Structure 1
Amino acid sequence: MIAITGVSGQLGRQVVEELLKTVEARSVVAIVRTPAKVSDLAGRGVQVRAGDYNDRAAMQQALTGVEKLLLVSSSEVGQRAVQHRNVIEAAKAAGVKLIAYTSLLHADTSPLGLAEEHVTTEKMLKESGVPFVLLRNGWYTENYLASVPAALQHGVFIGSAGAGKIASATRTDYAAAAAKVLTLDNQAGKTYELAGDRGWTLAELAEEVSRQSGKTVVYQNLSEAEFKAALLGAGLPEGFAAMLANSDIGASKGGLFDDSHQLSQLTGRPTTSLEESVRSTL
């Protein structure tokens, strides 16, 4: 059986949908904190089990009989290390034979502050003795497209990534890669650096939004402090605003760029282009 954690989240759910294209539903285990949120999957034959990153015993129970596990990194930045340890220990106790983990692009050399907890988790996996494969995901295109409505309203797209190239891909792209790895043999010990086929700058994103919308949108580069202050002013929580601003600075240093094309090679198709993503958003 193949299990996926965090299935009520956007990435985990899409991985399940990708798996169901090639794997029998009864062989898929969807682990979620609140099973009622994905009751439709149960109706399609998927085994929906309750599991919480903060509850090792419950997670071990949810992993009974599971051979392969996709550990989707927790969304609770700052608590990830403890939560991931719970899942890894639960998987080991349950006899899971392979853990696939959604890490961060070039986590071991990344300038992004987000990398720290991913590096810690990768170390835990190595020390656990459980065979594992690393899916080092780059940035989700959706992370930036969420700001398009405000950019259209004000005519300005703000950030602090400078001229840094961002080789992003969509959640659908990353989900397809994860599903493929979970169905392939001999994946233990592998590390995939997953990113979009073509990098782009935030100025190029603004240009594309302008081109497709017919409204002029320009990119305004801010300092990390200025960008964080703007995000706080827009109502974002302190920690989230700080993380986004720091990630943009990391992007300016090349932290979100990769041109190895491992993602498209793994899925067998090109990653979703920026043009297509902007079109869908508009």
Structure 2
Amino acid sequence: MTVAVTGASGQLGRLTVEALLREGATPVAVVRDASKVADLAERGVEVREASYDDPAALDRAFAGVDRVLLVSGNEFGSRVTQHTNVIRAAERAGVELLAYTSIPNTERNELILAQEHRGTEAVLDEASVPVVRLRNDWYWENYLNALGSAVESGVFYGAAGEGRVAGASRADYAEAAAKVLTTDGHGGRSYELGGAGLTYAELAQAISEASGKPVRYQDLPQADYAAALVRNGVPAGYAAALADADAGIAQGILDIDSADLEKLLGREARSAVEVFRAALS
């Protein structure tokens, strides 16, 4: 089983390559810059250079592969076009399965961050190869940038109210992707992937447990939270998207009721406490 992983130099892509190796598959790491995965090449992983903007390079990258994981890109505003390039290259290669990392509740998800996923899934709906949608909920790692200040100040800030977010670790999403890519029966499926839902107050408790220091949650209005992110160096557009995501969490959009991740893993997902404790150590 040869599986091409796009964005393999990124955090999720690299972890998926590692998980595929554990599953006994033959991963092909597709990256823009081969030097960023030199360590994988030294371990025998085939590395092929291609960007999402280069159809010819994508054709070369997918030559002879059985399956493809399209890890969603991070160039906001260009992602539907870029993802379409990958989908078309997978079609030309005649792969037997194309997996895409999406976002939960895509059909009704109004988050800013969901719109390009919805556009990509519309392209997938018309694809000529079997596809599977891996609708990953929030990564617990998304909160690591705020971890240090929360521990130091004793306050974890957000704009999520009492809403819950069904997060999981990036490694668990990668392992689930590897399971899907190395087993059969997934074509046409949409997996809503996430762990146990936590409120932000409970996330503050998880930070406290991981650090051994008291941390409480302070809820802010959406606009105030976005402004606070900007003051702390987050670009304005991304700050607005993060605050919008918190507002969506307050409305329950990321509190999925699904056991898909646990079923794929064959175990419970790692807790937020485990992820935070590992980061702090």
TM-score, structure 2 length as denominator?
Answer: 0.96
CA contact (8 A) 1:3 1:68 kept: yes
Is contact 1:61–1:94 with CA below 8 Å preserved after alignment?
A: no
Q: Which moved more, 1:131-140 or 1:205-214?
A: 205-214
Alignment of 1:88-167 (within 5 A): 88-167=87-166
Cα gap change, 1:46/1:213 in structure 2, threshold over 3 Å: closer, same or farther?
Answer: closer
For each residue in 1:86-130, what CA deviation from the matched residue of structure 2 results, as whole angstroms up to 9, or x when unmatched? 111111122222110001011112232211111110110111222
* 1:250-271 per-position Cα deviation (integer Å, ceiling 9, x unaligned): 1111111113211011111110
5+ long unaligned stretches in structure 1: none
Deviation of 1:211 after TM superposition, in Å, equals: 3.8
**Could you tell me which residue of structure 2 aligns to residue 9 of structure 1?**
10
Match of 1:264 among 238, 262, 265: 262
When residues 212 and 181 of structure 1 are mapped into structure 2, their CA distance, relative to the original with a 3 A threshold, is closer
Give distance in 2, aligned partners of 1:30 and 1:94: 16
Q: Does 2:20 correspond to 1:22?
A: no
Alignment correspondent of 2:228: 230
Amino acid paired to 2:261: L
Counterpart Cα distance in 2 of 1:23 and 1:206 = 39
Q: Which residue of 1 aligns with 2:52?
A: 53
CA distance in 2, matches of 1:55, 1:173: 30
The question of whether the paired residues in 2 share the 8 Å contact of 1:140 and 1:170 is answered with yes
Matches within 5 A, 1:60-71: 60-71=59-70
Percent identical residues: 51
> 2:218 is aligned with what amino acid?
Q
Bigger shift: residues 250-259 or 172-181: 250-259
CA contact (8 A) 2:8 2:30 kept: yes
Change (3 A) 1:206 1:92: same
Distance in 2 between residues matched to 1:44 and 1:260, nearest whole Å: 36
Whole-angstrom CA distance in 2 between matches of 1:181 and 1:62: 21
Question: For the residues of structure 2 that align with 1:278 and 1:28, how far apart are their CA atoms?
Answer: 29
User: Which amino acid in the other structure matches residue 111 of structure 1?
Assistant: E
Letter matched to residue 238 of structure 1:
A
TM-score by length of 1: 0.95
Letter in 1 for 2:151: L
Q: Is the 8 A contact 2:52 2:83 kept in 1?
A: yes
The offset of 1:244, in angstroms, is: 0.6
Q: How many residues align?
A: 279
Q: Which amino acid aligns with 1:224?
A: Q
Partner of 2:243: 245
Q: Secondary structure at the match of 1:144?
A: helix
CA-atom RMSD, angstroms? 1.3
CA distance in 2, matches of 1:22, 1:99: 18
CA contact (8 A) 1:166 1:199 kept: yes
Gaps of 5+ in 2: none
Report if aligned partners of 2:23, 2:179 keep a CA contact under 8 Å in 1.
no
> How far apart, CA to CA, are the structure 2 residues paired with 1:281 and 1:203?
20
What are the Cα deviations for residues 154-202 of structure 1, in whole angstroms up to 9, with x where unaligned? 2211110110011100000100000000001121101100001x11111
4+ runs deviating over 6 angstroms: none
* 1:208 aligns with one of 196, 202, 206: 206
- Paired with 1:54 and 1:94, the residues of 2 have a C-alpha distance of 17
The one-letter code sitting in structure 2 at the alignment partner of 1:188 is G
Partner in structure 2 of residue 179 of structure 1: 178
Q: Distance in 2 between matches of 1:277 and 1:38?
A: 24
Question: Aligned partners of 1:213, 1:116: CA distance in 2, in Å?
Answer: 36
